[in-house]
């Protein structure tokens, strides 16, 4: 079988950089393969995808050696426009990939570029919109979409022409759990039914490993592992523990083998060992809808009766009451378009409500979804003070250009910028801050959030990442249709369900309200001890 993508001893360094972003990379991907790219931040995953799409070296410049072929086309002779006929691409910043005014026009553009007639274009737009659940967005302006909606539109444009190869860089990073799972299933369906090869770079490996044929792990720009999902997890446990999925960490801590590639496999193994009490249990008690507080003080940050209505009458926020106490750590969750980003912009003071009010006890630091919006200078050291860079773990990158940082590094730099050096804020609001971050960086961010809360700062984080929410949040607020529908302790909201639940909770069916692998392993070890007791 001929390879649809091949790298032959490829090395690459970005302009002005001595170290290589790719070093001696050789690999091939056949038609119909589903390949997951794993690795810590700045390991070379995004650069590999840029080389596969022709952006390296045609757009980024730099020093390039070796050979990349895509559908038989040498990327040294064919630019991104030629390669797009064979390879659809979606990178970490979907807002930079949308160029037209409406969703319908955006999806039609690649089909029109292929010379398809009006009827074929209309059919293709309708099919990809239905497949991605964005049919209701077709006549919306791309400028008014949420980050997750924009990501699905950019993906639709990449898939509309049914390319032979799809290259995806963190495609689920801004999607809610439902949309993220649907996307992975769609990719699997394209892969199985149409023979589309998929190369997917992802930090949240628990979403995709069960569907992968193969995992390629990058380290320092080189391939460190190229094997099956199960063999990769065994390798990661010994070599790079931060790359283990929560279920694999759960099994490792409980002394169980082999590591599972997904929830189904994990539950089957636990049943075989008699370690599951039965089918998934319902949450008890169910998280209760948020109620208006009778307290009169604003705490650190408070909104009351908050509405945001568009000129046509559509309401984005509906009578929201929310209070954050000093030092409180809260995760704001909900599906794409539920109103999370709009609520943060109102709480941060950059949007005015239609009705209602916001009260804050001091400065509110707000970090929105796109870290690139905060990067204004030529060097990292010019963006934030030395103490802020040190706290963000970016002091070693002081002389680099901010745009040359990885997605996770840019996110940490943007957070350092909004926190500033001018005193402790009353509240910090973060909108999808883990975008592009590996598990180790998420752990560092969770530590940072806890440290801020320890200083009396109220922290509210909008996130689709249940694992991250479990790592830092005391409380979870679930937003739907512009209003909170659940507001309770993290262990109550994030267990017993499926979409808004951690992988550990899904593996254990909500038993013991275990959210993270450490809690789950403790539960399993107690059961194993009870079984062997005389």
Model confidence pLDDT, tens digit, residues 192-244: 888 899 999 999 999 999 999 999 999 999 999 999 999 999 999 999 999 99
Say what the pLDDT of residue 104 is: 96
List the Cα angle 27/28/32 in 5-degree steps.
145
Say what the pLDDT of residue 286 is: 43
Q: How many CB atoms lie within 10 A of CB 12?
A: 25
What's the whole-number mean pLDDT along residues 374-382? 93
What's the whole-number mean pLDDT along residues 498-521? 92
Taking 60 as the threshold, does the pLDDT of residue 296 lie above it?
no
| CA 354/CA 358 separation, integer angstroms | 12
Whether residues 333 and 222 fall in one domain: no
What is the sign, positive or negative, of the torsion defined by CA atoms of 199, 203, 207, 210? Answer: positive
The CATH number given to whatever domain includes residue 27 is 3.40.50.300
For residue 307, is it within any domain? yes
The domain boundary residue, chosen from 218, 248, 278: 248
Say what the pLDDT of residue 441 is: 84
Which H or E element spans position 507?
helix 503-508
Taking 90 as the threshold, does the pLDDT of residue 53 lie above it?
yes
What is the sign, positive or negative, of the torsion defined by CA atoms of 419, 420, 424, 427? Answer: negative
Say what the pLDDT of residue 333 is: 96
Task: Give the model confidence (pLDDT) of 441-495 as tens digits.
Answer: 889 889 989 999 999 999 999 999 999 999 999 999 999 999 999 999 999 999 9
Say what the pLDDT of residue 284 is: 45
| Residue 206 φ/ψ, nearest 5 degrees | -60, -20
Whether residues 312 and 241 fall in one domain: no
480 forms beta bridges with 483
For residue 500, is it within any domain? yes
Whether residues 240 and 322 fall in one domain: no
For residue 431, is it within any domain? yes
| CA 322/CA 301 separation, integer angstroms | 8
Say what the pLDDT of residue 429 is: 97
Taking 80 as the threshold, does the pLDDT of residue 304 lie above it?
yes
H-state helical runs in 240-321: 246-254, 263-272
Say what the pLDDT of residue 426 is: 96
Number of H helices, E strands in the chain: 19, 19
Whether residues 347 and 481 fall in one domain: yes
Least confident among 62-76, 132-146, 173-187, 490-504: 173-187
Q: What is the domain count for the chain?
A: 2
Closest CA to 45 of 237, 226, 214, 203: 203
| CA 13/CA 18 separation, integer angstroms | 7
What's the whole-number mean pLDDT along residues 131-146? 88
Closest CA to 249 of 206, 211, 291: 206
The domain boundary residue, chosen from 248, 274, 293: 248
Token pair of 27 as six digits: 């690999």
- Distances in Å between the Cα of 47 and the Cα atoms of 60, 77, 221, 330, 411 are 10, 19, 8, 35, 18
Say what the pLDDT of residue 279 is: 53
In this prediction, residue 532 has a pLDDT band, given cuts at 50, 70 and 90, of: low
List the Cα angle 500/368/109 in 5-degree steps.
85
What is the sign, positive or negative, of the torsion defined by CA atoms of 95, 100, 102, 106? Answer: negative
Whether residues 325 and 212 fall in one domain: no
What's the whole-number mean pLDDT along residues 318-335? 96
**By three-state DSSP, how is residue 256 classified?**
coil
Whether residues 317 and 201 fall in one domain: no
Whether residues 140 and 22 fall in one domain: yes
Taking 90 as the threshold, does the pLDDT of residue 132 lie above it?
no
| Max CA pair span of the chain | 76
Q: Which residue has the tokens 């009827």?
A: 119
- Distances in Å between the Cα of 230 and the Cα atoms of 227, 237, 503, 534 are 8, 11, 17, 35
For residue 72, is it within any domain? yes
Least confident among 5-14, 148-157, 498-507: 148-157
**pTM for the complete prediction?**
0.85
Q: Which residue has the tokens 């393969």?
A: 33
Higher pLDDT, 28 or 158: 28
For residue 267, is it within any domain? no
For residue 432, is it within any domain? yes
In this prediction, residue 285 has a pLDDT band, given cuts at 50, 70 and 90, of: very low
| Residue 487 φ/ψ, nearest 5 degrees | -155, 105
| CA 358/CA 302 separation, integer angstroms | 6
Closest CA to 449 of 370, 365, 347, 380: 365
Whether residues 238 and 375 fall in one domain: no
Whether residues 223 and 325 fall in one domain: no
What's the whole-number mean pLDDT along residues 177-184? 84
Task: Give the model confidence (pLDDT) of 97-120 as tens digits.
Answer: 788 889 999 999 989 988 899 999
Whether residues 334 and 207 fall in one domain: no
For residue 365, is it within any domain? yes
In this prediction, residue 33 has a pLDDT band, given cuts at 50, 70 and 90, of: very high
Say what the pLDDT of residue 531 is: 62
Token pair of 73 as six digits: 């086309």
Task: Give the model confidence (pLDDT) of 512-521 as tens digits.
Answer: 899 999 999 9
For residue 31, is it within any domain? yes
Task: Give the model confidence (pLDDT) of 419-449 as tens digits.
Answer: 887 778 999 999 999 887 888 888 988 998 9
Full residue range of the structural domain in which residue 207 is found: 3-248
| CA 320/CA 357 separation, integer angstroms | 10
141 forms beta bridges with 102
67 forms beta bridges with 8
H-state helical runs in 263-347: 263-272, 340-347
Least confident among 76-80, 282-286, 403-407: 282-286
Taking 90 as the threshold, does the pLDDT of residue 66 lie above it?
yes
Whether residues 414 and 493 fall in one domain: yes
Say what the pLDDT of residue 420 is: 82
Q: What is the mean pLDDT of the chain?
A: 90
Token pair of 256 as six digits: 């169980």
Say what the pLDDT of residue 345 is: 97
**Percent above pLDDT 70 for the chain:** 95
12 forms beta bridges with 22, 64
Say what the pLDDT of residue 288 is: 44
> Are the beta carbons of 85 and 72 closer than 8 angstroms?
no
The crossing angle, in degrees rounded to 10, of helices 103-113 and 118-132 is 130
Say what the pLDDT of residue 290 is: 43
Whether residues 207 and 73 fall in one domain: yes
Say what the pLDDT of residue 150 is: 86
First-to-final CA distance of the chain: 58
Say what the pLDDT of residue 292 is: 40
């Amino acid at each position: 079988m001929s390879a649809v993508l091949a790298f032959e001893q490829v090395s690459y360094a970005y302009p002005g950089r001595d170290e290589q972003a790719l070093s001696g990379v050789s690999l091939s991907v056949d038609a119909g393969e589903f390949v997951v790219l794993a690795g810590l931040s700045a390991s070379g995953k995004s650069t590999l995808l840029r080389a596969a799409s022709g952006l390296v070296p045609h757009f980024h410049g730099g020093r390039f050696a070796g050979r990349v072929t895509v559908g038989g086309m040498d990327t040294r002779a064919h630019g991104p426009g030629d390669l797009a006929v064979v390879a659809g691409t979606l990178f970490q910043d979907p807002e930079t990939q949308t160029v037209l005014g409406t969703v319908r026009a955006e999806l039609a553009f690649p089909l029109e570029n292929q010379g398809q007639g009006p009827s074929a274009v209309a059919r293709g737009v309708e099919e990809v919109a239905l497949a991605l659940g964005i049919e209701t967005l077709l006549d919306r302006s791309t400028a008014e979409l949420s980050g997750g909606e924009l990501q699905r539109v950019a993906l639709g444009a990449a898939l509309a022409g049914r390319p032979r190869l799809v290259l995806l860089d963190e495609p689920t990073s801004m999607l809610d759990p439902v949309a993220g799972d649907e996307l992975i299933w769609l990719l699997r369906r394209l892969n199985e039914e149409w023979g589309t090869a998929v190369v997917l770079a992802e930090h949240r490996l628990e979403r995709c490993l069960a569907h992968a044929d193969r995992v390629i792990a990058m380290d320092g720009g080189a391939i460190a592992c190229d094997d099956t999902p199960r063999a990769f997890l065994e390798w990661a446990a010994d070599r790079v523990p931060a790359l283990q999925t929560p279920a694999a960490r759960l099994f490792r801590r409980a002394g169980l083998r082999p590591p599972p590639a997904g929830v189904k496999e994990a539950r089957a193994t636990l049943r075989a060992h008699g370690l599951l009490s039965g089918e998934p249990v319902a949450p008890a008690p169910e998280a209760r809808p948020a109620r208006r507080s009778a307290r009169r003080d604003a705490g650190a940050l408070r909104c009351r009766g908050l509405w945001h209505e568009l000129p046509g009458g559509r309401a984005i926020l509906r009578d929201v009451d929310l209070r954050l106490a000093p030092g409180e750590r809260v995760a704001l969750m909900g599906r794409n378009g539920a109103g999370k980003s709009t609520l943060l912009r109102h709480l941060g003071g950059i949007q005015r409500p239609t009705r209602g009010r916001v009260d804050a006890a001091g400065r509110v630091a707000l970090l929105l979804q796109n870290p690139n919006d905060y990067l204004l200078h030529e060097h990292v050291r010019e963006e934030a003070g030395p103490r802020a860079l040190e706290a963000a773990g970016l002091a070693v990158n002081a002389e680099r250009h901010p745009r040359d940082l990885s997605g996770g590094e840019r996110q940490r730099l943007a957070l350092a910028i909004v926190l500033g050096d001018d005193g402790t804020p009353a509240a910090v609001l973060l909108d999808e801050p883990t975008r592009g971050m590996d598990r180790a960086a998420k752990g560092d961010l969770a530590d940072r959030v806890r440290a801020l809360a320890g200083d009396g700062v109220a922290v509210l984080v909008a996130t689709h990442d249940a694992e991250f929410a479990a790592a830092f949040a005391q409380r979870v607020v679930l937003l739907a249709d512009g209003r909170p529908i659940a507001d309770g302790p993290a262990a109550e909201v994030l267990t017993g369900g499926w979409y808004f639940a951690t992988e550990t909770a899904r593996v254990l069916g909500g038993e013991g309200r275990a959210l993270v692998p450490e809690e789950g392993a403790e539960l399993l070890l107690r059961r194993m001890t009870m079984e062997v007791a005389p």
